[in-house]
Structure 1
Amino acid sequence: MAFTSQYFTADTHFGHALMLKDRPFSTTNEMDRHLIDSWNSVVRDGDIVWHLGDFSYHDEARTKSIFSQLKGRKRLVLGNHDLDNRGDVRKSIASLAWDQEPTHYAECKQDGERVIMNHYAQRTWSASVHGSWHLYGHSHARLPAYGRSRDCGVDCPDLGFTPASFRALTASMRDAEVVA
């Protein structure tokens, strides 16, 4: 049996022209291609990728085309742009072959530790007083890490538009715990 890695990312916003304002791309096509290539540079076919919201702003056909180009078993924690004005999952998102049904909240274990995932940053989260970790998106790197909570979105300078492993995401936070 092959080893399965898990990765975390958020806020790809495939096709969302407003993202070009703060990203180093000239067009959404250029941005989309870079995000797809960056994703596939680390993720293998059997790996799990937790996407913590705001996956795509494209129509159903283009979103499906991008989704099919991305390696791995994809799981979605819903973000505000994944929902329509009524709060329902947008058709272009719901129609994709997610590894699990998209949800507003998820948990997993990494290296024996509990990881809480939401699209939004939380000041406290499930089991935060017992050492759990919290990963989120939405803030586009505008919020600093807080305790054991951090943004894992593609806009974070240390992530380079690429999904990251739990160890990579928490390394500097662990170093800060040792110093404190």
Structure 2
Amino acid sequence: MFVQKFYTSDTHFCHHRILAMCARPFASIEDHDEAIVSRWNSVVRDDDIVYHLGDFAFHLGLNSERIRGLFFRLKGRKHLVIGNHDVTKRGDLHPTLAGLDWAARPEHALRTRDGGRDLWLSHYAARTWPCQHHGSVHFYGHSHGKLPGQGRSRDVGVDMPDVLFQPRLFSELTKDMEA
């Protein structure tokens, strides 16, 4: 069995207001969090890689034990690209997230390869990115489906209609993308 790479963003675990703000179809934040864990684990295996492009959780200090519990229930080797809700007021990675068992040090942006292509990962959408003019793809979050991608860029957040609140493969996320 080979390792697969998945991408997701903006799970906003423990964020009560996200339900109304983004019209997420769950009765409570507990239902929301449980649905995301279940949907995540329905596609990701223990050895797979998951790139989370920021805003993993909310109220990090108040919910640190719950966030830790949710994190360890999620399958895969998880990488974090830091989002605006993942940091303290000073801009440092929040201690709750810093204390989790990420597969690598969380970064503000990350460059990798998938599907034979160069891939630029960040929480924020970019108009330009490394190797853009040489076939590179850009995945981002933050916009909750409200900022359309351009060319070979797209929002991979859980609010996207084709994502259905679960991590997706590169091939799934790029199937309608220009070459």
Q: Same fold (TM over 0.5)?
A: yes
1:88-137 deviation line (CA, Å, top 9, x unaligned): 11111111000001000101111211000000000111111111000000
TM-score (norm: length of structure 1): 0.94
Aligned twin of 2:77: 73
Structure with the higher helix share, 1 or 2: 1
The answer to whether 1:121 aligns with 2:125 is yes
Counting only pairs closer than 5 Å after superposition, residues 1-180 of structure 1 correspond to structure 2 as 2-21=1-20, 22-57=23-58, 58=60, 59-174=63-178, 177=179
Q: 2:95 is aligned with what amino acid?
A: K
Q: CA deviation at 1:60?
A: 1.5
2:40 is paired with a residue of what secondary structure? Answer: helix
Q: How many residues align?
A: 174
AA paired with 1:40? N
Unaligned runs of 5+ in 1: none
In 2, the alpha carbon distance for the partners of 1:111 and 1:31 equals 31
Name the TM-score, length of structure 2 as normaliser: 0.95
- What 5-or-longer segments of structure 2 have no aligned partner? none
Identity of aligned residues (%): 47
Residue aligned with 2:139, SS: strand
Q: Within 1, Cα distance between the matches of 2:148 and 2:57? A: 25
Deviation at 1:168, TM superposition (A): 0.2
Provide the alpha-carbon RMSD of the alignment.
Answer: 0.9
Which amino acid is the alignment partner of residue 76 of structure 1? Answer: L
Asked if 2 retains the 8 angstrom alpha-carbon contact of 1:60 and 1:91, the reply is no
Q: Which secondary structure state, in structure 1, belongs to the residue aligned with residue 82 of structure 2?
A: coil
Q: What displacement does 1:145 show?
A: 2.1
Whole-Å separation in 2 of the counterparts to 1:82 and 1:10: 12
Equivalent residue letter for 1:28: I
The separation in 2 between residues aligned to 1:136 and 1:73, in whole angstroms, is 19
